[in-house]
């Protein structure tokens, strides 16, 4: 039996919640959506939340809510899934990549500062592996540039920074509920913000930009059926059927966090003496919900170790190829060598299996196979 790098944890309650919604009138656009949104806002300590169809659509709705448009610049990390950058480009922005800190792999505020221009609209940090970004520094940089600070928190729902939950740190924050993430709705995501008006803009974008409130309409006397579009949006809605999984999952999120913390600590303790490895760093003012356990393999042995572990049924992953190495970016003129710290991080990185349902026996296998790979 192989061991994946990430996996969902599904309970009988999750299944029952879906079945219950299937028997109601509302498969989508019904009451479970708002219930799930309230639970997310509660966890993130924000005035509101809107759920969407994926982490990618959450990022797109967030950039749209911030008014990102052609001519704007967005600064982000290359050590991320391509969606952090591609959704800003879908809004017409130019993306600039800042380098990362050597220890956490998170965007380096000093590198961000060097890229700020009068066109900077958004600074997008990514909480790599679940470890929150330097939120105070990035907030201050965004404020001084009259830009926004966006947090791609696809890895970090339920992480804390200086005691405050992710979601309450940035101007706007995007979550993902893909099965490998900290909690799931199969596909899904959410947007939260400190300012409820920004969440409302994201919510409108997720549903074609439709304005249903008569007080806000330009032609309210058109008829009782009337709804109108003021700014273009798309259909990025999360159905009630999937919101039901999320509402059930979020009740167990602290159990997920406790188990992920235990997995992290055991890797840390049992791999500390292995030569040729760099283990992930935790700054002392954060309390992460660990999404990944990223090790770095020294001496140019990453590929060999990766292939050995895969052959033994430990389905390790690499997170991530620097975003601008993708041919789509290369074709736009982005050059290798631009962010040397991120490139070196990538060249050594392997993500070990990390999820709430990973058993102690499975973790023993992972540790054993990794030791053999490096022996």
Ligand X SMILES: *Cc1c(COP(=O)(O)O)cnc(C)c1O
Q: Contact positions toward ligand X, by CB under 6 A? A: 54-56, 80-81, 83-84, 126, 152, 154-155, 176, 178, 189
Which CB atom, from 111 or from 156, has the smaller least distance to ligand X? 156
Distance CA 340, CA 256 (A): 34
Dihedral class, residue 105 (left if φ above 0, else alpha if ψ from -120 to 50, else beta): left
C-beta of 269: minimal distance to ligand X in Å? Answer: 27
Tell me the three state secondary structure of residue 181: coil
Buried b (16+ CB within 10 A) or exposed e, 338-350: bbebbbebbebbb
Which CB atom, from 152 or from 343, has the smaller least distance to ligand X? 152
C-beta of 228: minimal distance to ligand X in Å? Answer: 30
C-beta of 232: minimal distance to ligand X in Å? Answer: 21
Which CB atom, from 211 or from 264, has the smaller least distance to ligand X? 264
Phi and psi torsions of 189, nearest 5°: -170, 180
Tell me the three state secondary structure of residue 177: coil
C-beta of 176: minimal distance to ligand X in Å? Answer: 4
C-beta of 299: minimal distance to ligand X in Å? Answer: 28
| Cα 43 to Cα 38, 130, 169, 374, distances in angstroms | 9, 16, 13, 41
Which CB atom, from 182 or from 348, has the smaller least distance to ligand X? 182
C-beta of 126: minimal distance to ligand X in Å? Answer: 5
Angle at which helices 360-374 and 302-311 cross, to 10°: 130
Pair 323, 97: CB distance under 8 Å: yes
Q: Do β-strands 148-152 and 120-126 pair in parallel, antiparallel, or remain unpaired? A: parallel
Which CB atom, from 154 or from 241, has the smaller least distance to ligand X? 154
Which CB atom, from 72 or from 152, has the smaller least distance to ligand X? 152
């Amino acid at each position: 039996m192989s061991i994946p790098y990430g996996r969902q944890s599904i309970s009988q309650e999750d299944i029952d919640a879906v079945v219950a919604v299937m028997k109601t009138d509302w498969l989508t656009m019904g009451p479970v959506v708002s219930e799930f949104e309230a639970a997310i806002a509660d966890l993130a300590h924000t005035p509101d939340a809107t759920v969407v169809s994926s982490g990618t659509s959450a990022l797109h709705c967030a950039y749209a809510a911030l008014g990102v448009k052609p001519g704007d610049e967005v600064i982000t990390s290359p050590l991320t899934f391509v969606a952090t950058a591609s959704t800003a480009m879908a809004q017409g922005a130019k993306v600039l990549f800042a380098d990362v800190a050597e220890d956490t792999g998170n965007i380096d505020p000093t590198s961000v500062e060097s890229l700020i221009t009068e066109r900077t609209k958004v600074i997008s940090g990514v909480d790599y592996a679940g470890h929150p970004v330097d939120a105070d520094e990035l907030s201050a940089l965004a404020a001084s540039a009259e830009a926004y600070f966006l947090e791609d928190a696809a890895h970090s729902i339920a992480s804390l920074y200086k005691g405050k939950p992710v979601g309450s740190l940035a101007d706007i924050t995007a979550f993902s509920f893909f099965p490998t993430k900290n909690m799931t709705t199969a596909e899904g995501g959410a947007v939260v913000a400190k300012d409820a008006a920004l969440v409302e803009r994201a919510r409108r974008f997720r549903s074609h930009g439709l304005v249903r409130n008569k007080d806000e309409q330009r032609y309210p006397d058109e008829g009782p059926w009337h709804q109108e579009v003021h700014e273009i949006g798309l259909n990025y809605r999360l159905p009630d059927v999937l919101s039901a999984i999320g509402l059930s999952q979020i009740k167990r999120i602290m159990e997920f966090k406790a188990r992920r913390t235990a997995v992290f600590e055991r890797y840390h303790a049992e791999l500390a003496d292995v030569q040729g490895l760099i283990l992930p760093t935790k700054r002392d003012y954060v309390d992460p919900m660990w999404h990944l356990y990223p090790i770095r393999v020294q001496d140019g042995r990453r590929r060999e170790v990766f292939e050995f572990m895969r052959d033994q049924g430990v389905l390790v992953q690499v997170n991530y190829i620097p975003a601008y190495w993708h041919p789509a970016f290369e074709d736009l003129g982005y050059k290798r060598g631009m962010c040397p710290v991120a490139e070196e991080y990538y060249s050594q990185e392997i993500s070990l299996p990390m999820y709430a349902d990973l058993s102690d026996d499975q973790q023993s296998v992972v540790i054993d196979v990794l030791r053999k790979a490096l022996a």
